[in-house]
Structure 1
Amino acid sequence: MEDIKIRNAIISNIEQIMKIEHESFYETVCEDRSVFLDRILTFPDGFLVLEIDGQVSGYISSEIWNYLEEIQENFFDLNHSIGKLHAVTGSELYISSIGILKKHRGKGYGKLLFSELSRRITEKYNILSMILIVSVQWTVAKKIYEKNGFEEVKRIDRFFDDGTNSDVIVMRKFI
């Protein structure tokens, strides 16, 4: 039986987080180490890691934004500074990134991380909605988000520099 723990990320987890990031995403889509460090330092409540048998095996990071009906495409820019939009008094939780080591995928750990982050943040902050982006090519992830109440609200053309310049779908869920 695996020993599972979810806790706030700390600076010393950065190497494991970056390993997961590079294992999870196309190289030109991976965000920079400095971006993850900034997220951990700026909003530790919104950055969780999953430990399996003492090894960091997954992460989820987020920001709190002021809710806007009219979604601005540049809000989702990769490698943006969390300080650009993060406001703890906001009401929308932006899930900025989630990743699980390949050997642990398909076991429900992503859903567990997502659920735990949602629970922690909605208990502590006045969150009324959640927002995220997903590549049109990531059909499995999109289906998971749809099953969890997220709906497509916008598409951003040619967002990812992933060899095909794939579009992304902006999805939102009201709580």
Structure 2
Amino acid sequence: KVAVVGAGFSAMDAVRVARRLGSEAFIIYRRSEHEMPASSSEIEEAKEEGVTMMTLCNPTKIIGDENGKVKGIECIKMKLGEPDASGRAAPVPIPGSEFVIDCDMVIQAISQVVDLGCCPGVELTQYGTLKVDENYKTSINGLYAAGDCITGPKSIVDAVGDAHRASNAIHEYLTNLTITPMEQD
């Protein structure tokens, strides 16, 4: 039994692979299905493959046996409150609603935040992502960014496209040469 914590694209990839490898697999997500960051088509495809969506519950601890192996995950039921900074309804724990789910493995696939320790003073958007111009340049001279750190969670295809365009801009910055974009078929 595999518990995947999160509901974005990485979580869906992990839970579907676990299911395809023969495990009973389920998603644990602290909000409702409506707030899941993964696309609705990916959520539906995961369900068609036999993945269970355990929504409105949040892990509180992983339970191990005497040998240190995972044997379960304790969760608490959640309810939706007022919108938070992301614009989605904030999950609120329901006191006394803790329960345990038996599982052999826990995969953490939740949102990560950008570590800005290397670039103090970089300008952010209202969503907490790095603010860039049309050439992927940040507010710090010579610092470029691409992918989820500028858009929030999106697909790998979007991130690779951003990285390709950003690399062209970086090349131009370093060499003072202009790159002509390749023609698309």
Q: TM-score, normalised by structure 2?
A: 0.24
Give the structure with the larger helix fraction.
1
Q: Quick check: which has more Rg, 1 or 2?
A: 2
TM-score, length of structure 1 as denominator length: 0.25
